[in-house]
Amino acid sequence: MKTIGILGGLGPESTLEYYRYITRTYYQRYADYAYPEVVIYSLSFQKFIEAGYDLPGEVKAAIEKLHRAGADFVVASCNSLHLVYDRVAGEVPIPWVSIMDATAEQITAQGLTKVGLLGTIFTMGQGFYQQALARHGIETVTPGQEAQNKVNEIIFAELVRAEIREASRQFVLDCIEDLGRSGAQGIVLGCTELPFLIKQEHTALPVFDTTTIHAQKALDLALEGN
């Protein structure tokens, strides 16, 4: 069984959700407590926000620390951190498993070719996520700038502190409707806090919960060969 490394702290609530999902899902599947070992390295959230998540050296150093702590591969419990994925993944001693590729696998498995993307302004606006999905043949649409700013505010002012407000849920659902009218066949919740607010039951469009998708991928990889 492989040891999972988690780059966490960006923010803390989603980091907790990864650990919770991995351990609980293992128990539900096997009814014992022999779940994979997990090593978490919690990064400074404020530092990454101020730098627009563009700190490849910090990410590389953190992955190297997880490697020395015994991790066999790494997942980052943050979509925005994948801004530096292409610059870092080939320079570290253990695999960094991309949340974007894991999500793309699920989108293509459902036969979809165009999705709406919601997340922080870094994730929606920097283009790295769109490029990653395009490599899988998936087109991406995002809300307009004003809506992006509001979604970003909801994430940082509420969701990273586990605050759930109905008005914010309705705003995001309105964004989802607009994306559907723009041709989106499904919606990527491209922030690992957004699934706290939006569930599949809230919309008719298929929802891709990147937290669950990525945590499940980590568990599957840890159990390969067992």
Selection from 78, 109, 84 nearest residue 189 by Cα? 78
Task: List the domain boundaries for the chain.
Answer: 4-98+212-223, 100-209
For the domain with range 4-98+212-223, which CATH number is right: 1.10.274.10, 3.40.50.1860, 3.40.190.10, 2.60.40.1180? Answer: 3.40.50.1860
Per-residue pLDDT tens digits for 198-218: 999 999 999 999 999 999 999
- CB of 181 closer than 8 Å to CB of 147: no
Report, as ranges of residue numbers, the positions in the chain whose pLDDT lies below 70: none
State how far the alpha carbon of 148 is from the alpha carbons of 41, 89, 176, in Å: 29, 28, 12
Q: CB burial class (10 A; 0-12, 13-18, 19+) of residue 37?
A: middle
DSSP code of residue 137: T
Please report the pLDDT score of residue 226 as a whole number: 74
Class of domain 100-209: alpha beta
Please report the pLDDT score of residue 24 as a whole number: 98
Q: What angle do CA 106, 107, 111 make, to 5 degrees?
A: 115
**Number of CB atoms found within 10 A of residue 206's CB:** 16
DSSP code of residue 96: B
> Are the folds of 4-98+212-223 and 100-209 the same?
yes
Please report the pLDDT score of residue 103 as a whole number: 98
